[in-house]
Structures are given as structure tokens and as C-alpha cells.
Structure 1
């Protein structure tokens, strides 16, 4: 019974700690205006490997410097791109960014003219694989199974389990 109680306590403590860390990270991200993006291509390797989660923060064009890694919208609403700034430019009198992926031989085909610029603050390698898995049906099933298992561990309190030859009282 002691072993079961120890395992139960360890599992519940680990789950509670993970919950607290998740809340702190989420609150910190909200407080500091950070947004996560998952790196899905190898264009920024080796600095940003595929499967990394980059935390990005909005910045004004005037704050951007050559060498910064930024995320901007692709033209025609085709998603986002996270590349390194190689030149600050202007297009038709509007501020623009020339970008290039570290693993690419040439700059992106055209400058990005946008006010929606987010600079990478830091990144966590491989965390994106977990994020992508949790967005799939099998990831949701796995999370559901973990939640059910945690409830079962919580409910199976060894102090409440009575041997068959004992009479509660």
C-alpha cells in the first residue's frame, strides 16, 4: 500500500506542477505579448530546427534591425514566414523588409510590406512536434486518456481501499 501511495502522490504532484507551469507560461506570454509559432520548414536551420516553437513579440518597423529573426504575413494571406532580416527597404515609399531563411541561398522573392512585424524573442526546439500532435485526433484522444488516468489515480486513494477481511467501522 505504501508503494501505491507513493506512486499516486508522485503522479498527482507531477500533474499539478505541470498545470502550474502551463498557467505561468500562458500568463507570462499574455503579459508580455508573446505568441507561439511552430516552425514547419527547414529554411531557418540550424538556428530554428523544424519542430521548434518560436515565441514572437510585436515590434514597430523602427525597432527592427538587420539580423533580427522576424515573423511577417506572406502576401495574399498565405500564412506566415519566419526569416532573418537582411535589409530594411522601401517599396512605393512604404517601409519593407528584405528577408532570407538562413538555410536558403537567396533572399525571399520580394520584400514584405507590412505593419504586422513580430520579432523572435526565443525558441524551444522540438516543442512544436508536441503542439502539432495535440492538434490531431489521436493527440486529443491521448490527452483524454491522460485526464481519465489522473482521475483514476486520484480516486484510488490507498487509504480508502479496504481489504476483504476487514470490516469498516
Structure 2
């Protein structure tokens, strides 16, 4: 009886793990078929519009078409990927000025990013976001996250094998008339 409960529990955990993996894969891969690239939101500079831990989906756009108020994802001069709001487009200099909507001075006014972003650094415009999905993606792409996933999969596989073997031995004894069904 206890082995049957344990086997059911292991099976339920395996099922949840597979469902979560498929859902994460769909959320990360399916939008790419339609031209959207997902990025995890790692800071609060765009809250509440883009909460920390969200996954923002970015669609490539022509930088000359950007307008103040658009939310764009771009490469900062140090190579970091950032998503901020456009406050200025300088077509002549081929740059955009950006700001995080949560980055404010002591007087409450928005702080502009220190450097203008060249058009060549613009990845695209943020189309939509899914809250909390960025946490899962960020965890799964770290060495410790990958190790944790591999460990859970290994434990589930071992538990399935052990519980499956003991169940099949009992079934074999019953079939031969050797087991005690009581």
C-alpha cells in the first residue's frame, strides 16, 4: 500500500515536471516563430509596467520609427541588455534617449539614462510580458539551476525504477501463484 502511494506520488511529480518543462519550452520557443525574442526582466527600473521576474517579448523594429513613450530593448555600451522607455529620438545623431520609469530623483522626476543609445544598439520594441516567467527562465539557465533540474530528474528516474521493479516482482509472484495477496 505504501509503495503504491509512493509510486503515485512519484508519477504525479513526474507529470508536473513534464507539464512545467513543456509550458516553459512553449513560452520561450513558440513566440520566436512569430518574431518575438524573450528576455527576463532582472531589475525594477520599469515597474510596475514590467515587474521584476517577468519575461518581456521583444519584436524587432526599425529604430527610426520609434517614438517617445515606446518601450524598447537595447544593448547598453557595456553589452548588457536593457528594456527602458524612449523619451527622445534624435534621427540626425541616430540615437535614442531612454529612461527607466521607476528611476526617479529625490524630487520625483524621471532620471534619464546616462548615455544615448545608438540606433545600432536597438534590439526591438517590447510587445508584451508574462509575469514571473523570467524567474523560471533565469533559474533554468544558471549552472546551479541546471544542476538542480538534473538532480530532480535523476531522483525521479531512480524512484520510478525502484518502485516499478518492486511492483513488477510482486506481479510476477502473483502470476505464478507464489505471492501473498493479503
Instruction: Give the TM-score of the pair, scaled to structure 1.
Output: 0.77
**Cα separation, partners in 2 of 1:146 and 1:6, compared to 1, 3 Å:** same
Higher helix share: 2
Q: CA deviation at 1:7?
A: 2.8
Contact 2:28 2:38 in 1 (8 A): no
**CA separation in 1, counterparts of 2:68 and 2:35?**
22
Q: Which residue of 2 aligns with 1:160?
A: 168
Q: Which residue of 2 aligns with 1:45?
A: 47
Q: Which residue of 2 aligns with 1:69?
A: 71
> Superposed, which structure 2 residues align to 1:95-110 within 5 Å?
95-104=94-103, 105-110=110-115
**Cα separation, partners in 2 of 1:34 and 1:154, compared to 1, 3 Å:** farther
Contact 1:73 1:114 in 2 (8 A): no
Q: CA deviation at 1:41?
A: 2.4
Kindly report the root-mean-square deviation, in angstroms, between the aligned alpha carbons of the 2 structures: 2.8
**CA separation in 1, counterparts of 2:25 and 2:133?**
17
Q: Number of paired residues?
A: 165
**Cα separation, partners in 2 of 1:41 and 1:122, compared to 1, 3 Å:** same
User: For 1:83-138, what per-residue CA distance to the aligned partner results, in whole angstroms no more than 9, with x for missing partners?
Assistant: 10122222xx3432221110122222333222333111222333333333334443
Q: Which residue of 2 aligns with 1:14?
A: 16
**Cα separation, partners in 2 of 1:78 and 1:18, compared to 1, 3 Å:** closer
Q: Which has the larger radius of gyration?
A: 2
Higher mean alpha-carbon deviation, 59-68 vs 140-149, is at 59-68
**Cα separation, partners in 2 of 1:42 and 1:51, compared to 1, 3 Å:** same
Structure 2 alignment gaps of length 5 or more: 104-109, 177-182
User: For 1:14-61, what per-residue CA distance to the aligned partner results, in whole angstroms no more than 9, with x for missing partners?
Assistant: 233233323433431320222222222222122222332222121112
Instruction: Give the TM-score of the pair, scaled to structure 2.
Output: 0.73
Alignment counterpart, residue 153 of structure 2, candidates 143, 147, 152: 147
